[in-house]
Amino acid sequence: MALDSEFQKKLQIFLVAAIVLAGGRAAYVVYERHEAMKEDARPKQEGLLKADYYVSPKKLHPYDLRSAHQLTEQPVWARFGYQLTYYPYDRERRKTDFAHEAGTLLPLQKLAIQDVVTDVSPQAPGMKQVMAVFSLDGKGYAVPIGAEQGGDFRIRSDDMFFIEDPHELYKHWPAEVWQKIDAHEVQAGMSELQASFAIGMGIPTGPGDYGARTLQYPNGGKPVTIDFQNDKAVEIKAGT
């Protein structure tokens, strides 16, 4: 993840200050003590956001059906809530019912992938869909994770799923933030990433850089609009 503009600005200010203060050791010591006191006093959210930059989720890089079966070896968590449509799946016939959408995966919904198969959708008869099969409440379902045509596979599961528990990947986040995320709720002070983990992806409603813009969240039919400044939610209101 690229450094946001606010962090870059603060970094530049810090470097300039360090150069100026380098000429006088006494002033430098005073500066160091002052900064340490400020760090102890201010909220830790800024440091937590910086820690996010160093999180590097593992990826499987599947390139065919066999390598995609690695998804069955551990749980997965949906990266994008309310974006990934899944369908009823008949295990005996090994067929996906593409005519009836069963739902969309919730934000960070945990799944146990049981199989990875190919199937043909009536909407795209010229290619095979790569489907990840799982169960919910004892019923079989399948979600598309890629396609195959002429022996050429394009599998995007790395972009769709975490294969490590996000709670561990971002364990530096406060417990109260994770409580809100797990309840699919947002609160003031959340970053864009935290909000997306809670209520899915947002759509920009106007200009603005990441962390300094307004996003509209469909939120599974309960739209929410959030204004962000310095990558923190500063205003949360019901959307339309």
Q: Is residue 56 part of a domain?
A: no
- CA 170/CA 168 separation, integer angstroms: 5
Q: Do 79 and 34 reside in the same domain of the chain? A: no
Report pLDDT for 79.
Answer: 96
Is the CB of residue 200 less than 8 Å from the CB of residue 123? Answer: no
Is the CB of residue 130 less than 8 Å from the CB of residue 124? Answer: no
Q: What is the Cα 40 distance to its own chain's centre?
A: 30
Q: Do 73 and 105 reside in the same domain of the chain? A: yes
Q: Do 154 and 71 reside in the same domain of the chain? A: yes
Report pLDDT for 45.
Answer: 55
Q: Is the pLDDT of residue 24 over 80?
A: no
Q: Is residue 58 part of a domain?
A: no
Categorize the per-residue pLDDT at 185 as very low, low, confident or very high, splitting at 50, 70 and 90.
Answer: very high
Report pLDDT for 46.
Answer: 57
**Radius of gyration of the chain measured on its C-alpha atoms:** 22
**What is the domain extent for residue 31?**
5-42
Report pLDDT for 38.
Answer: 44
Q: Is the pLDDT of residue 180 over 70?
A: yes
38-90 confidence digits (pLDDT tens): 444 444 555 656 889 999 999 999 999 999 999 999 999 999 999 999 999 99
126-152 confidence digits (pLDDT tens): 899 999 999 999 999 999 999 999 999
Tell which residue, 116, 122, 166, 169, has the closest CA to residue 144. Answer: 116
Report pLDDT for 95.
Answer: 96
Q: Do 154 and 188 reside in the same domain of the chain? A: no
Report pLDDT for 217.
Answer: 97
